[in-house]
Structure 1
Amino acid sequence: MLDVRRMQVLRAVVTSGSVTAAAANLGYTPSAVSQQINALEKEAGIALLERHGRGVRPTAAGVLLTEHAELIGRRVAEAETALADLRAGRTGQVAVRYFATAGAELVAPALARFRREHPGVRVDLRIAEGARTDPEADVTLVVRPRGAATEDGLRLVHLADDPYRAVLPKGHRFADRRVVDLAELADEPWVGSERPGPCLDAVLEACAAAGFTPDIAVECEEYATAQGFVAAGLGISLVPLMGLGSRHPNVVVRRLRGPEPVRSIHAAVRESSRALPAVRGLLTALQEAWGADATKRPGSARATSPTA
């Protein structure tokens, strides 16, 4: 097998026209250059240089290897530039998986900012189930309790706390409240808005802390549908802020306390991707997206006034 470094020494000799000049350019001794050329000729099985006047010139094999050495040198330089761009976050690709309700309020504004700051980085963005991680993705958005363990090779980075709101039918006895105590909903029929998993666990744990287990009269596992059942008077429901992007006209949304159920949204980041500037930039954008313009969100303090 031909030694690529020796091929570059050959190129230096051919370009400069002599072993002595190549040695000076490379910072080697002439003897060291001659040894490298002799070793390369043994690898090639053919003479690469011949004497010409006071210097040397390449044989046909020497010309061939010199041309390939030039191509290799160019590709190595291109690779170094590409690697520098990747390390600096100017190029590359980031694979992101997210769940539906995080899309509009969290992912969309974060991605818009990220693209402004990293225009050369391609984002492979796909929707995925919020309870599972994707081993092929650099970043997967998941719902997990704070301090939860995760799989090997992944690191959890907290992005946002998404509090639940009480969704009540218009005319409900608590509709004129700004805030409702969770325990006051213990005797209400409930419309279940969550499927089994970490989101439902957050609701059930808050209810347990308030001293009751909710009576699920209707199961639907989908936020917009849950609002429809509530509007029809079939019960009350709890929906996280990120799930209130579209509100049914015949419901009211009220804040909760004692305690306030919260689902914690994290990024499960591949350990091998954490050091990439593009991934770090995306995580920063995600963390800051949820804090921007909070008063404009459905279910915010402004949106939960008694007139809402």
Structure 2
Amino acid sequence: MLDVRRMQVLRAVVTSGSITAAAANLGYTPSAISQQVAALEKEAGISLLERVGRGVQPTEAGRLLTEHAAGITDRLVEAEAALSDLRAGRTGSLRVRYFATAGAALVPPAVARFRAEHPTVRLDLKPTEPLDPMLEISSGHADVAIFIDHGRAPGPGLQLAHLLDDPYLAVLPRDHDLRHKRVLDLNDLADVPWVDAAFLPDCCRGIVTDACAGAGFSPNFVVESDDYPTAQGFVAAGLGVTIAPKLGLGAIHPGVVVRRLRNPEPFRSIRAAFREAGSVNPAAASLLNALKDAATTSS
């Protein structure tokens, strides 16, 4: 296989017209240049230079390799420029995964800011299950994932960044007896029927039932729902009460009232997961900062 560095030496000799001039341009001794050309001729199996007076000129094989060396140099320059743009966050792509309520509240403003700062970076945005973004990242399918932290340690090569703690709020029928209280103790809801609004039984429902257990009761679910807007509809119809995370409420149904909770105040911790290599990527760092600012605004 031909040595690329020796091809560049040959090109210097051909363009300068002599071994001595090439040595001066490259900072080598003439002897070192001659040795490099001789080694390249051995690799090529053919003579590359011929003497003409006090200088040299390329043989047909020498001209061929010189032309290819020029092409290699041009491609290396292009590669270095591309790498420089990537390091500076001017090019490349980011694959971002998020769950539904984060997508509605956090991702849009963060993406708008990111696009203004990095208009040439391509974003691949897709919703995913909020419990296992680490699998998306560790399998190479994502660079950044927004998820609900339920105590699982990050996998090898992954880092987590806290975005916000999303508090749960009580959702009551508009004519409910507790509507006049601005802040409810969670056990105020102990003896009333509940609408199950948890669309993720292993995560969101666990937050609800654990909080209720801390308040000394188990919620009496009489209706099941798989999303928060539907749950609000059941509450508005007077079928029960529910609690839902602030980000998940979205537009408040006209038939319900929303109240803060205490003793305890349930919340879900929302984090971003990313590969450690992504922490030094300016584009990934910029998106993370935009997500943090969006989280601050929405909290």
Q: Same fold (TM over 0.5)?
A: yes
Q: C-alpha offsets along residues 249-283 of structure 1, whole Å, 9 cap, x if unaligned?
A: 11111111111110011112122322211111111
Partners of 1:9 and 1:242 in 2: CA distance = 63
1:168-207 aligned within 5 A: 168-194=172-198, 195-207=200-212
Partners of 1:154 and 1:219 in 2: CA distance = 36
Contact residue 106 and residue 298 of structure 2 kept, 8 A: no
Q: C-alpha offsets along residues 31-86 of structure 1, whole Å, 9 cap, x if unaligned?
A: 00110000011111111111122111111111111111111111111111111111
Say whether residues 1:119 and 2:119 are aligned partners.
yes
Say whether residues 1:140 and 2:131 are aligned partners.
no
Partner of 1:237: 242
- Which 4+ residue blocks in structure 1 deviate beyond 4 angstroms? none
Contact residue 96 and residue 142 of structure 2 kept, 8 A: yes
Partners of 1:293 and 1:186 in 2: CA distance = 29
Partners of 2:220 and 2:240 in 1: CA distance = 10
Say whether residues 1:152 and 2:167 are aligned partners.
no
Partners of 1:200 and 1:18 in 2: CA distance = 80
1:94-133 aligned within 5 A: 94-133=94-133
Partner of 1:7: 7
Partners of 1:11 and 1:281 in 2: CA distance = 43
Three-state SS of the structure 1 residue aligned to 2:106 is helix
Deviation at 1:152, TM superposition (A): 2.5
Partners of 1:293 and 1:125 in 2: CA distance = 20
Letter in 2 for 1:91: T
Partner of 1:260: 265
Matched residues, percent identical?
62
Three-state SS of the structure 2 residue aligned to 1:74 is helix
Partners of 1:2 and 1:104 in 2: CA distance = 56
1:26-45 aligned within 5 A: 26-45=26-45
Which one has the bigger helix percentage?
2
1:52-63 aligned within 5 A: 52-63=52-63
1:84-99 aligned within 5 A: 84-99=84-99
Partners of 2:205 and 2:275 in 1: CA distance = 26
Contact residue 105 and residue 298 of structure 2 kept, 8 A: no
Three-state SS of the structure 2 residue aligned to 1:174 is helix
Partners of 1:215 and 1:82 in 2: CA distance = 60
Q: What TM-score does the superposition give when structure 2 sets the normalisation length?
A: 0.95
Partner of 1:219: 224
Partner of 1:301: none
Partner of 1:298: none
5+ long unaligned stretches in structure 1 = 295-308
Letter in 2 for 1:177: K
Greater shift in the superposed pair: 81-90 or 35-44: 81-90
Partners of 1:293 and 1:181 in 2: CA distance = 24
Partner of 1:162: 166
Partner of 1:46: 46
Partners of 1:152 and 1:199 in 2: CA distance = 26
Q: Give the total of aligned pairs.
A: 293
Supply the RMSD in Å over aligned alpha carbons. Answer: 1.3
Q: C-alpha offsets along residues 101-150 of structure 1, whole Å, 9 cap, x if unaligned?
A: 111210110111111111221111111111122131011111014x6412
Partners of 2:298 and 2:196 in 1: CA distance = 29
Deviation at 1:293, TM superposition (A): 6.0
Partners of 1:199 and 1:92 in 2: CA distance = 35
